[in-house]
Amino acid sequence: ENNKDIHLNRAFFTRNQPVARSETYINLREVSSRIKLPKGEYLIVPSTFEPYKNGEFCLRVFSEKKVKTQMIGDMVAAKPYEPHVDNKDIDDEFKTLFQKLSGEQYYDFENMGDGSEDYENMDCEVTATELQTILNRVLAK
């Protein structure tokens, strides 16, 4: 209870399921929820909408009864492992299949001319829904 220097690793979050969370995970400046929790100790973990982004948080906890709170730390930082996939490691057959199924144009940025092309309107990301559609089509064959 009084120990503030605790590092909670991935195993902690694997073993302990969330007791509550915000209803919808959307990109809003302010998120608020009314949650009824039994008496106990809780860890509140703020997060950004986009993974691996730093953010500033103002956390307000309202209670109908008097509660005891303590701040564990004022600086939270993460350096998660982000694998680098080189374009050379992606099979040409997969690139063709992906392009065909997604309806998007595949762009090989490393081998595209002198860089004067306009890249602003290129959609080089796949949403969760698009990925699900692609995987369903591939697995259906």
Q: CB of 99 within 8 A of CB of 126?
A: no
Q: How far apart are CA 87 and CA 108, in angstroms?
A: 8
Residue 106 lies in a domain: yes
Structure tokens at 137: 């089509």
Q: How far apart are CA 76 and CA 130, in angstroms?
A: 33
Amino acid identity of residue 17, one-letter, is Q
Residue 130 lies in a domain: yes
What predicted TM-score, i.e. pTM, was given to this entire model? Answer: 0.39
For 125, the domain range is: 87-140
Could you read off the pLDDT of 49-99 as tens digits, one per residue? 787 888 887 777 778 878 777 766 666 666 666 777 777 777 888 777 777
Residue 30 lies in a domain: no
Task: Output the pLDDT for position 5.
Answer: 64
Residue 119 lies in a domain: yes
Task: Output the pLDDT for position 118.
Answer: 46
Residue 18 lies in a domain: no
Rounded mean pLDDT of 98-125? 57
Please give the tally of structural domains in the chain: 1
Q: How far apart are CA 97 and CA 137, in angstroms?
A: 10
Could you read off the pLDDT of 7-26 as tens digits, one per residue? 778 888 888 888 887 777 67
- Greater confidence, 102 or 110? 102
